[in-house]
Amino acid sequence: MTTAAVAVVCAVTVLAAPGTAFADPGPSSPPPSSPSPSPSAAAPAATPGKDLEAVREKLDELYRAAASATEEYNAAEEKAEKQNAEIVELAKKIVKGQERLDGLKDRAGAAARAQYRTGGLPDGAKLVLSDDPEDFLDGTGRVIQGQRATKGLLGELTRAQEDLKTYAADASARFKELEANRKAKAKARKKVEKQIAAAEKLESELEKEEKERLAKLEREAQAKAQTAWLDSGILKDLDAEATGRGRKAVEYATAQIGKPYQWGAEGPKSYDCSGLTSQAWVSAGKAIPRTSQQQWKQLRHVAVEDMRPGDLIIYFDDASHVGMYVGDGSMVHAPRPGRSITLAGAGSMPILGVVRPDTAPEQTPAPGQ
């Protein structure tokens, strides 16, 4: 059992080795001789005079699909880390349980040998042959105590064996779950790479002037969304002060501005959207879920008009993107592959809702401040 436990730990280490979770997918543009992407990832042909608005929409679709797959990957990675830790703990229990079982077996063997040495004659014969009946009776009492102790030892031995079987069964089940999760993570990775490759291929077919016009269209679309959001009058209600933790989280997130987006990454050199927000709150002393979907599901929801700096803004119906509100109608986020962490309008994308990692009350400014 001890050998099996060590083997489990070794296997887990191979399956979830540090450093493999956030590997850079590397260049994903296919060579000229490569076959075209599947219909689901196919992009409009890049030809002079093309409809750049359609191209922009297609790119947005591809990168959103990549973001959704990235969060699937991140969820699988987070789950794998927990499963790995559970298996290691179970392996430790197996080792300790085996040591305890071996000790109990030694004690049971010693008790059996002692009983054999003294149990050859019936009690009546021992009384007749005894020089001192009182010593005999004392000895009989000790034998009874020994028998009771032996019975308790055997019960403990049985429980130890049952515990060991349970630990082994649990470890086996967790290992199967880890293997299944590893496959899910690999599948999500392929989806990310496929969508990014299609988007990069589409962008690579654009001329320089077309890329400049496309970037302008992207900025205009974001500005239009932000203006509509501000015109709703939302800013007049956004006057809440950040908490101490909220300020620390904002300081961390804004300090990462300019660093590149990398899917699956959570710093310190690069981040994806939820990697940035989760690590910002870790730096503020608050652990939160790793993915934007779980942040949306598990953290406390607050109304948009009540958000304060440090709150997380969840975007799109599938909660596939997240940014951190920093005040004055702006948020900081890691946008997508090929972009860097930046400040943007909080309303520049469709808002699903707002969640609050920090449950501390709003901070009241001191007099004179």
| Separation CA 56–CA 50 (nearest Å) | 11
10 is catalytic: no
Cβ atoms within 10 A of the Cβ of 268, count?
A: 9
The separation between the first and the last C-alpha atoms of the chain, rounded to the nearest angstrom, is 66
Amino acid symbol at 101? L
CB 315 within 8 A of CB 350: yes
Name residue, tokens 């392996």: 91
Catalytic: 301?
A: no
What gap in Å lies between CA 144 and CA 147, rounded to an integer?
5
Catalytic residue among 174, 194, 259, 321: 321
DSSP for 147-186, written as a single string = HHHHHHHHHHHHHHHHHHHHHHHHHHHHHHHHHHHHHHHH
| CA dihedral for 296, 302, 306, 311, sign (positive or negative) | negative
Neighbouring CB atoms inside 10 A of 253's CB total 29
User: Phi and psi for 327 in degrees, rounded to 5?
Assistant: 110, 165
Q: Are 82 and 208 in contact (CB under 8 A)?
A: no
Q: Are 248 and 279 in contact (CB under 8 A)?
A: no
Residue 292: both structure tokens together: 């934007």
Give the angle 302-291-240 at the CA atoms, nearest 5°. Answer: 25
- Provide the CB-side half-sphere exposure for 185 (13 A, CA): 21
Quick check: 329 and 340 in contact, CB under 8 A?
no
CA 11-4-12 angle, 5° bins: 15
Which residue shows structure tokens 């956030």?
A: 22
Active-site residue (options: 93, 189, 259, 333): 333
Q: State the catalytic residue, choosing from 101, 273, 307, 334.
A: 273
Rounded Cα distance between 272 and 287, Å, is 17
Catalytic residues: 273, 321, 333
